Amino acid sequence: MTTFALIHGGGGSGWDFHRLGPELVARGHDFVAPDLPITDSSAGLPDFVDTVLAALGDASDVAVVGHSYGGFTAPLVASKVRARLLVYLAGMIPAPAEPPGQWWGNTGFSAPSGLSDVETFFNGVDPALASDGMAHGRDQVSREGEDPWPLPAHPDVPTRVVLCRDDRFFTPHFQRRVARERLGIEPDEVDGPHCAPLSHPAQIADLLVGYL
């Protein structure tokens, strides 16, 4: 049995995986999905890592999944626990010494225009579920944005990149380019928007378990 550490994105919470987690359990595995201390202005990436490690406890067979902004924390956790697998799910792929706040410009990210947050992140999600997703959002005031990403290189862990075909925030074209440039990896694809763990949890669970 593998324990999946599911790491949420910016302004998110463990609730973001409340549909994906049970799908992993149904396939014979376990998961943790802690709330990172993003509402603490003194917290940084080390605190995020400690939060995930505390949730994992003594789990020894671990796969780490970083969704969106969780991509900065996921490889740090993976290196600490000697994970069997690291997955960037619509994830931001860091570079050594690069502060998260500089990732946007360094990758050439261009934000979508003329769309609401629901249209950007939850397109195709059931409206009631999308509304719940917005309600569970949190203000991110943590300090990691200007701190250099601490690893000297990407960890030596089997790594996959998964893009979401209907993602309007990190478009498939953008995700493919960044994955190739930063990791030399061709992404796999799932259906759904940026918040695909809400809309397509079974499809994502099948993909994650298939990587093991």
| Structure confidence by residue, pLDDT tens digits, 111-120 | 899 999 999 9
Q: Can you give the pLDDT at residue 126?
A: 92
| Structure confidence by residue, pLDDT tens digits, 61-82 | 999 999 999 999 999 999 999 9
What is the Cα–Cα distance from 79 to 92, expressed in whole angstroms? Answer: 17
Helix ranges, 4-142 (H): 20-26, 45-56, 74-81, 100-107, 117-121, 127-135
Architecture per CATH, domain 3-211, reads as: 3-Layer(aba) Sandwich (3.40)
Q: What integer is the mean pLDDT of 192-208? A: 97
Residue 186: which pLDDT band, with cuts at 50, 70 and 90? very high
Q: Can you give the pLDDT at residue 137?
A: 92
Q: Can you give the pLDDT at residue 209?
A: 98
SS3 86: strand
Residue 44: which pLDDT band, with cuts at 50, 70 and 90? very high
Mean pLDDT of the chain: 97
Q: Can you give the pLDDT at residue 167?
A: 97
